[in-house]
């Protein structure tokens, strides 16, 4: 493929999953365009690839319709600064990575200014707020979708789209060894009972809502499985302090681990986690799981009226059936979480059909995502240059 001489990209990622995708994309773009430079907003993985983050990524990490209102002025200010910077020094392309409520309005204004725009990770227009597709068409020159089921709505509206798969599916082996993961984490001496991974999220707000519930569920599980061990990965130092305080308040015990959430999931026999990309990762490491989430009550009421699909977790959406239990909002009680996690753990080993579906979905998503995305972006730019 012809490689263009233009070599400056502005990327914006707003959370840890976007940082993973962004770092992988940058690595592949650099392989095709060694002189390219990258700046915008990103996390430590992107920065390790030579990316210059103009604003700390965690300033964009806010979830929910109501929750964002408290940060609206700051978010609008950040977006205006980026827009002005791009007009003053137009990049080769603007690449928004997920975070559509932040990135799409910026992309639309930049496209109107003649700057090529790409969005990586399709917004869930197939699930809710479906009229957004018309704004997406006005905002981007190329959509990079992660999942095959997302393509039809873009084809229907003549929006250029490429399904690139997911970088997690590329990185994670088809089989993962719990024993090896426990060695990496230094857990060889733990009790011989079951090991449960507890992942209450990476954002301050979701940890505040979910960690107390999850920890109370841990205590109930411990009553029935007295030799159980609980592992909680902390996304950063702030989350570790937050989780430690919640554990102390609940008079509960768990092994806290700095980062390494994937290794924690691999080391576990079953996983209790917040809905999000972690559910996809849990599926890819082939572990039974229970997915849960709580948001502000008003946010939930609004979203419940707007969502058009029966599932929230990616394994269920990909399979179009209930592969994993989802306990959301009022259903997310400690008793329910504990009961369903134990049931799921006990049944998974003998459920070969579920295991086979996990593997089939893994194979479906393994497409060398970073390479596919980089090639698609350069192909788009070459077409526009002709």
Identify the weakest region by mean pLDDT among 46-60, 250-264, 309-323. 309-323
Residue 2 falls inside a structural domain: no
CATH code where residue 311 lies: 3.40.50.2000
Q: Tell me what pLDDT residue 149 has.
A: 87
Tell me what the mean pLDDT of segment 221-242 comes to: 95
Same domain, 22 and 120: yes
Residue 12 falls inside a structural domain: yes
Q: How many CB atoms lie within 10 A of CB 126?
A: 18
Residue 350 falls inside a structural domain: yes
Instruction: Look at the chain and report how many structural domains it folds into.
Output: 2
Residue 1 falls inside a structural domain: no
Same domain, 90 and 181: no
**Who wins on pLDDT, 13 or 128?**
13
Would you say residue 41 has pLDDT above 50? yes
Q: Which percentage of the chain shows pLDDT scores above 70?
A: 90
Q: Tell me what pLDDT residue 204 has.
A: 87
Same domain, 380 and 314: no
Same domain, 53 and 90: yes
pLDDT band at 65 (very low <50, low <70, confident <90, very high): very low
Q: How many CB atoms lie within 10 A of CB 250?
A: 16
Same domain, 295 and 202: yes
Tokens of 298: 């008003």
Residue 323 falls inside a structural domain: yes
Same domain, 150 and 201: no
For the segment 147-203, what is each residue's pLDDT rounded down to a tens digit? 998 999 999 999 999 999 999 999 999 999 999 999 999 997 776 899 999 999 988
Residue 92 falls inside a structural domain: yes
Same domain, 179 and 230: yes
Q: Tell me what pLDDT residue 301 has.
A: 57
Same domain, 146 and 196: no
For the segment 101-124, what is each residue's pLDDT rounded down to a tens digit? 899 999 999 999 999 999 999 998
Same domain, 151 and 298: no
Q: Tell me what pLDDT residue 60 has.
A: 76
Q: Tell me what pLDDT residue 70 has.
A: 56
Same domain, 214 and 160: no
Task: Look at residues 318, 325, 326 and name the one whose alpha carbon lies nearest to residue 351.
Answer: 325
Question: Residue 27's domain spans which residues?
Answer: 8-165+367-385
Q: Tell me what pLDDT residue 300 has.
A: 58
Would you say residue 263 has pLDDT above 50? yes
Q: How far apart are the first and last CA of the chain?
A: 14
Contacts of 381 (CB under 8 A, 6+ apart): 4, 6, 92, 93, 116
For the segment 346-365, what is each residue's pLDDT rounded down to a tens digit? 999 888 899 999 999 999 99
Tell me what the mean pLDDT of segment 232-243 comes to: 95
Same domain, 320 and 374: no
Tokens of 205: 């707000």
Identify the weakest region by mean pLDDT among 27-31, 170-174, 241-245, 381-385. 381-385
Would you say residue 240 has pLDDT above 90? yes
Q: How many CB atoms lie within 10 A of CB 193?
A: 13
For the segment 303-345, what is each residue's pLDDT rounded down to a tens digit? 666 556 667 788 998 998 999 999 988 899 999 999 999 999 9
Q: Tell me what pLDDT residue 38 has.
A: 98
Residue 10's SS3 state is strand
Listing DSSP states for 177-214 in one string gives -HHHHHHHTT-TTS-SS-EEEEE--SSHHHHHHHHHHH
Separation between Cα atoms, residue 108 and residue 117, nearest integer Å: 8
Residue 208 falls inside a structural domain: yes
Residue 3 falls inside a structural domain: no
Listing DSSP states for 42-108 in one string gives --HHHHHTT-EESS-GGGG---STTGGGGGHHHHHHHHHHHHHHHHHS--SEEEEES-HHHHHHHHH
Would you say residue 286 has pLDDT above 90? yes
Q: Tell me what pLDDT residue 1 has.
A: 39
Q: Tell me what pLDDT residue 6 has.
A: 60
Same domain, 340 and 371: no
pTM over 0.85, yes/no: no
Provide the mean pLDDT of the chain. 90
């Amino acid at each position: 493929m012809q490689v263009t001489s233009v070599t400056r990209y502005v990327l914006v990622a707003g959370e840890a999953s976007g940082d993973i995708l962004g770092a992988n994309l940058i690595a592949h773009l650099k392989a095709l365009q060694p002189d390219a430079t990258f700046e915008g907003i990103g996390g430590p993985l992107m920065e390790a690839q030579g990316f210059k983050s103009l604003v700390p990524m965690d300033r964009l990490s806010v979830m929910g319709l109501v929750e964002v209102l408290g940060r609206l002025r700051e978010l609008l200010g950040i977006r205006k600064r980026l827009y002005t910077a791009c007009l003053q020094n137009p990049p080769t392309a603007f690449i928004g990575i997920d975070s559509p409520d932040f990135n799409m309005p910026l992309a639309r204004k930049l496209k109107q200014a003649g700057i090529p725009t790409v969005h990586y990770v399709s917004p869930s227009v197939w699930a809710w707020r479906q009229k957004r597709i018309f704004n997406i068409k006005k905002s981007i020159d190329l959509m990079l979708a992660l999942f095959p089921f997302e393509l039809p709505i873009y084809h229907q509206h003549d929006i250029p789209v490429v399904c690139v798969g997911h970088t997690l599916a590329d990185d994670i082996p088809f089989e993962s060894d719990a024993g090896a993961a426990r060695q990496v984490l230094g857990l060889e001496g733990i009790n011989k009972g079951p090991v449960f991974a507890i992942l209450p999220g990476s954002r301050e707000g979701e940890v505040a809502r979910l960690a107390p519930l999850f920890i109370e569920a841990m205590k109930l599980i411990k009553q029935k499985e007295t030799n159980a061990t609980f592992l909680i990965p902390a996304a950063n130092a702030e989350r570790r302090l937050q989780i430690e305080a919640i554990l102390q308040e609940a008079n509960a015990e768990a092994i806290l681990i700095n980062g390494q959430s994937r290794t924690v999931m691999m080391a576990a026999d079953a996983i209790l986690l917040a809905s999000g990309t972690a559910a996809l990762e849990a599926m890819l490491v082939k572990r039974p799981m229970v997915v849960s989430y709580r948001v502000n009550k008003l946010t939930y009421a609004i979203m419940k009226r707007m969502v058009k699909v029966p599932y929230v977790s990616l394994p269920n959406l990909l399979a179009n059936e209930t592969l994993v239990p989802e306990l959301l909002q009022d259903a997310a009680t400690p008793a329910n979480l504990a009961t369903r996690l134990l049931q799921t753990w006990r049944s998974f080993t003998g459920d070969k059909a579920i295991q086979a579906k996990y593997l089939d979905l893994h194979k479906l998503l393994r497409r060398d995502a970073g390479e596919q995305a980089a090639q698609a972006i350069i192909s788009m730019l070459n077409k526009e240059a002709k």
